[in-house]
Amino acid sequence: MAYQVLARKWRPSNFNQLVGQEHVSQSLIHALQHDRLHHAYLFTGTRGVGKTTVARILAKAINCENLKDFNPCGACPVCLAFEQGRFMDLIEVDAASRTKVEDTRDLLDNAQYAPTQGRYKVYLIDEVHMLSGHSFNALLKTLEEPPPHVKFLLATTDPHKIPVTVLSRCLQFNLKRLLPEQIDTQMQFILGQEQIAFEPAALKMLGRAADGSLRDGLSLLDQAIVYGSGSVTADAVIGMLGTVAQQPIDEMLQALATGNARALLAKIADVAQLTPDFADILQQILRVLHRVALIQQIPDFIDHEFDKQLLDSLAKALLPEDVQLYYQIGLVGQRDLPLAPDPRSGFEMVMLRMLAFRPQALEPQTVTPVQPANPKPAVIAPIAVAAVVESKRIEEPRPVQTAKPGSWTEIIAALNISGRTRELAHNCVLDGIDDSSCRLLLDPGFQQVGSKAEDNLRAALQNYYGKPLKLVISKQAEQQMTPALQIQQAREDRQQAAVDSINADQNVQDLKDTFGARIMPGSIEPLN
């Protein structure tokens, strides 16, 4: 007997065997239970998730002579005819090869005749979006008012190409992409039934490579069995898929955590000798960073995919904000990787970018304050450092400063705010600030830009002073010089100085006297 591939041999024959599509199977079982079958069903979803399989099970169930828990029994003449491919009342069509309107008309000519073997004549049209516009028009009337003995089951990977007139006449079920864990579990079950030895790590890699499609996963499993000479091992799957083992990934992450650029580049050079897929390596790094972020927020989180000791050590060595930064840089790098001159240099730049943008922990320094004779507020601007971190990171709590005196204009410059928040700050005057609150007076002529800008300003002040501050904004009793008015006044002074300079220029005077020249209004602008 010829070998049958796993995807066909283990195709589900009833609703209970479906993997990951419980929302569809439950709805169809309830429809059979209450005898509320629609005349047209549309099953959508990506490739290999079970669209055609669900349609075939439904076609078998509505014709089965002895349903068991509203599942096909698999033993009656109708079920046996289905499994052997000789059920006359199932008309299965691949729309990709029969797109012409003449094919659709020929198909529907026999719809008026009663079924010969079962209770219903079932039209199963796969990849229905491939039909032409005229074919849809020919199908439309029969689809809307079919004979009572006819059911339409349509399947497609692209429902957006189906006319809305057809969609409105069907019950639509969207089949989900399967999770890697679901594909992994089904593979374990199949290999157990087939009595084939396997390693769990190998099935996890195959589950991820399947990309949500169980059929693709079983096809890869078939290939892995052949590649591994009758067994499924992690080394064989790594060689078959061209992926990199987890150990080099772990060493790259450890070098990243310690800020050791030399070790990181050396490990990338070692991996490059295997001609790997650097996009896949970056995906693996992102998966580990995701698990690290979970452990940092939920310490008792259990992950069976990666080494627990590695995740714990990375969670302790990296700050949560660093993990988020690395993850975001990796996501952007994944998008830009095809634009790099070559995959290796693009991957190296992504990793070096993680190191370059990682804030460096500063050694605590003892500063002796100098008290001037006439104390004047001074602003201590926050320091931003982008450098490679030493192997041992010093984590010191940020000192809480009781006061950061300074003029309101200088404080605004140090807050590093923009947009509406900066506009609000510029139109205020500092009335006073202490350990608990910051009081501002708002220009009466300024219309406040909203509560969001006020919230952003409060957050910036709290971050700058390192303590919770209450922000109180009230209207000025009389006009005062706000930073916005100061900026406007300075701009007008520079403009007037530029105009005066031009008017006083001797060359300009000579041009006026000799040629009757004049200065065009609005043509003079200051240089800075």
Write out the two tokens for 246: 């987890």
How do the pLDDT tens digits run along the chain, 528 residues long? 578 899 999 999 999 999 989 999 999 999 999 989 999 999 999 999 999 999 999 999 999 988 888 889 888 999 999 888 889 999 998 888 877 888 888 888 888 888 888 899 999 999 999 988 888 888 888 888 889 999 999 999 999 999 999 999 999 999 998 988 899 999 999 999 999 999 988 898 898 888 889 999 999 999 999 998 889 998 888 888 766 666 788 888 888 988 889 999 998 998 888 778 888 889 889 989 999 999 999 888 877 667 778 888 888 888 899 999 999 999 999 999 999 999 999 999 999 999 898 876 444 444 344 444 444 444 433 333 333 333 334 444 444 444 455 688 888 888 888 888 888 888 888 888 888 888 888 887 776 667 788 888 888 888 888 888 888 888 887 777 888 888 888 888 888 888 888 888 888 888 888 888 888 877 888 876
143 and 255 part of one domain: no
Residue 44 maps to a domain: yes
For 147-173, what is each residue's pLDDT tens digit? Answer: 999 999 999 999 999 999 999 999 999
User: 475, 442 in Cβ contact below 8 A?
Assistant: yes
3-state secondary structure of 295: helix
* CA 51, 55, 56, 58 torsion-angle sign: positive
> CATH number of the domain that 452 lies in?
3.30.300.150
Classify each residue of 152-163 as buried b or exposed e, where b means 16 or more C-beta atoms within 10 Å of its C-beta: bbbbbbebeebe
Tell me the β-bridge partners of 359. 386
DSSP structure class, residue 2 = -
145 and 66 part of one domain: yes
199 and 136 part of one domain: no
228 and 257 part of one domain: no
3-state secondary structure of 8: helix
Write out the two tokens for 492: 């007008």
Smallest CA-to-CA distance from 348 within 413, 406, 293, 270 is with 270
> CATH number of the domain that 272 lies in?
1.20.272.10
Residue 68 maps to a domain: yes
User: 180, 204 in Cβ contact below 8 A?
Assistant: yes
Rounded CA gap, 95 and 123, in Å? 12
User: 202, 175 in Cβ contact below 8 A?
Assistant: no
Residue 389 maps to a domain: no
> CATH number of the domain that 157 lies in?
3.40.50.300
3-state secondary structure of 432: strand
Rounded CA gap, 172 and 157, in Å? 12
Where on the phi/psi map is residue 467: left (φ > 0), alpha (ψ -120 to 50), or beta?
Answer: beta
> CATH number of the domain that 215 lies in?
1.10.8.60
DSSP 401-418: PS-----HHHHHHHHT--
Residue 469 maps to a domain: yes
The number of domains in the chain is 4
Smallest CA-to-CA distance from 288 within 242, 228, 248, 346 is with 248
Rounded CA gap, 258 and 127, in Å? 52
Of 196, 213, 241, the residue at which a domain comes to its end is: 241
Tell me the β-bridge partners of 92. 124
> Dihedrals φ, ψ of 189, to 5°?
-65, -45
Residue 525 maps to a domain: no
92 and 131 part of one domain: yes
pLDDT value at position 381? 39
Residue 510 maps to a domain: no
24 and 154 part of one domain: yes
pLDDT value at position 64? 92
98 and 29 part of one domain: yes
> Which residue type is seen at 514?
T
Q: What radius of gyration, in Å, describes the C-alpha atoms of the chain?
A: 36
pLDDT value at position 304? 66
Residue 428 maps to a domain: yes
203 and 111 part of one domain: no
40 and 100 part of one domain: yes
Rounded CA gap, 16 and 218, in Å? 19
323 and 255 part of one domain: yes
* Residue 269: C-alpha distances to residues 39, 248, 363 (Å): 61, 11, 33
Place of tokens 């061209």: 242
160 and 53 part of one domain: yes
236 and 168 part of one domain: no
pLDDT value at position 418? 85
Residue 391 maps to a domain: no
Rounded CA gap, 53 and 25, in Å? 11
Of 463, 480, 497, the residue at which a domain comes to its end is: 480
Rounded CA gap, 12 and 288, in Å? 34
Of 356, 377, 397, the residue at which a domain comes to its end is: 356
Q: How far is CA 250 from the centre of its chain?
A: 23
* Residue 68: domain span: 6-174
